[in-house]
Amino acid sequence: MRKKTFFSKFFIIFLVINFNNFSASIENKIIANVDNQIISTYELKNKIKTILFLSKQQLSQDNINYTKGQSLRTLVDYKLKLAEINKFQIAIDSTVDISDFLNSVASKYNTNAKGLEKLFNDNKIDFEKYTKEVKVDLAWNKLIFQKYKKKIDLNEKEVDKELNKIIKDQQELEQYKLSEIEILSENKKIDEVRINETINQIKEIGFNDAAVKFSNSPTAFEGGDLGWVSSKSLSKDVYNSIKILKIGDVSKPIFQRNNIIFLKLNDKKKLIINDTNVVQIRKKIINRKKNEILNLYSNNYLSKLKNKALIEIKYE
């Protein structure tokens, strides 16, 4: 039987290591093995600095210590995803255009993709590793879609029923501008710790920066931004949580299958329903249902990979 080091232990790793002492001589020291892949001190250092930079936090020892566990979990997930996309020969094409994504991230710093790269370099953060992680996530999403697209069996009658109810219930449709933080649900004890951490970070550094730091959703790098969402395209639990919020408020944690979600209401408006809007609303209902199914498959698949993998953490 393969022996696995549990993620709950990640929080006690490297407590005696001062970040400022990560000298060049130990940058390539192995701190973890994920099957036949390694995680080095250089990678951990770079991931911590990336998360703190993107969440606009100071590179202080307290922030570093607070971010270590999340950074290591993210790197383990990255290694598992990388191994799997290589196994199925999903190309991480060097020519994949992620400029729109990078420009979106860069806009938060009033610059463009080139300017963002310069900011990374100025802060001694490996920009190439960051862009590769983005591409690996895109390849992972492609793999999940290829594996499970035949299982996305939407009931058209249910979609039409939901759409007809929207039209019948109201001629004016409420729309919400939302941001999200999505964290994995594992067990009651770990969930409680992660929920409290997330709530505290939302209070300390703001929702958008906390999303960059903690969220497992693809929207994380954009501060959790979901854009405008129709009230009727939301699930019942999400809608009930959102409708009582005032603009600027954050929802209580919403438990959905193996995820825990926090939502922030950034704005809201009324939309008058017409033929064009009906088509758009129907598309949003379909996309929402598809994304829910794909996210479920993605999280379950990654959890299975973790359970099968030999993950060893060095405690020296």
Residues 106 and 162 both lie in one domain: no
Tell me whether residue 309 is in a domain. no
Residues 184 and 68 both lie in one domain: no
Which H or E element spans position 184?
strand 172-184
Residues 124 and 190 both lie in one domain: no
Residues 100 and 234 both lie in one domain: no
Number of domains in the chain: 2
Cα separation of 131 and 161, whole Å?
42
Token code pair at residue 118: 């310069």
Is 0.75 surpassed by the pTM of this model?
A: no
Domain stop point among 148, 164, 194: 148
pLDDT recorded at residue 4: 45
Domain stop point among 99, 114, 148: 148
Q: What value, to the nearest 5°, has the Cα angle with vertex 155 and ends 151 and 156?
A: 125
Question: Using an 8 Å Cβ cutoff, are 243 and 176 in contact?
Answer: no
List the pLDDT tens digit at each of the 316 positions of the chain: 444 444 433 333 343 344 445 444 445 789 999 999 999 999 999 999 999 999 989 999 989 988 888 899 999 999 999 999 999 998 876 556 788 888 888 988 999 999 999 999 999 999 999 999 999 988 998 899 899 988 887 777 777 777 777 676 665 578 899 999 999 888 888 899 999 999 999 999 999 999 988 888 878 878 899 888 888 778 888 999 999 999 999 999 999 877 899 999 999 988 766 665 777 778 877 877 788 888 889 989 999 999 999 999 875 5
Residues 172 and 261 both lie in one domain: yes
Residues 246 and 211 both lie in one domain: yes
Residues 107 and 203 both lie in one domain: no
Residue 300 structural domain: 156-304
Cα separation of 10 and 190, whole Å?
12
CA neighbor of 225 nearest in space, from 127, 53, 108, 134: 108
Tell me whether residue 41 is in a domain. yes
Torsional sign, CA 182, 186, 191, 197:
negative
pLDDT recorded at residue 272: 67
Token code pair at residue 174: 């409420």
CATH of the domain at 55: 1.10.4030.10
Residues 256 and 228 both lie in one domain: yes
CATH of the domain at 230: 3.10.50.40
For residue 40, report the phi and psi dihedrals to the nearest 5 degrees.
-100, 165
Residues 175 and 127 both lie in one domain: no
Domain stop point among 129, 148, 167: 148
Q: What value, to the nearest 5°, has the Cα angle with vertex 251 and ends 245 and 256?
A: 130
Residues 227 and 160 both lie in one domain: yes
Residues 265 and 172 both lie in one domain: yes
Tell me whether residue 1 is in a domain. no
